[in-house]
Amino acid sequence: MNGIRFRLNGKDVCYEGSATDRLLDVLRDTYDMKSVKCGCKEGECGACAVLIDSVLYNSCCVAVGAVEAHEILTVEGFKETEQFKALSKAFAELSAVQCGFCIPGMVLASQALLMKNPHPTKEQVQEGLSGNLCRCTGYNAIVNAVLNASKEGDGLW
């Protein structure tokens, strides 16, 4: 078996399991990417969100075979960037994190949005984060954090 080769957080990896295994499980169990959370297993909550070739996907709905030769980014890899630092700072300053379960997915959804639109409106942020559920904050602080990161991190996206 040749395995399934892809880039994970900037490193080449080769998964030797079944191509039908869920990417969510492979990332958590094989590569120890604990930021990728299992929330619903149906693609409804966004807790398992990752960037595949810079596009946001719910990893619970992706078979690992589909990522052959693609680039996957989780928060573990994203946290080394200046963009993450701007988002992290904004989330902290605006108390946008409570329990933290949804935050990795929210941060990657924010990154996906800001890569497409570095200066979104409040409504565009709300739409960009609409695939991510949070049961703690009521969303206003998270939306404001993304808007603040966009402003304070001007030029990063």
Rounded-to-integer distance, Cα 16 and Cα 8, Å: 15
Beta-carbon contacts of 24 under 8 Å, excluding residues fewer than 6 positions away, are: 36, 38, 41, 48, 59, 60, 62
Are 90 and 115 in contact by the 8 Å Cβ rule? The answer is no
Q: What is the pLDDT of residues 32-91, one digit of tens each?
A: 999 999 999 999 999 999 999 999 999 999 999 999 999 999 999 999 999 999 999 999
Give ranges for CATH 3.10.20.30 in the chain: 4-74
The reply to whether CATH 3.10.20.30 applies to domain 4-74 is yes
Q: For residue 132, give both structure tokens.
A: 């991510």
- Closest CA relative to residue 148, chosen from 80, 74, 79, 94: 94
CATH number for region 81-152: 1.10.150.120
What is the band of 1 on the pLDDT scale with cuts at 50, 70, 90? low
Q: What is the pLDDT of residues 141-155, one digit of tens each?
A: 999 999 999 999 999
Tell me the whole-structure pTM to 2 decimals.
0.95
Give ranges for CATH 1.10.150.120 in the chain: 81-152
Distance in angstroms between the alpha carbons of the first and the last residue of the chain: 40
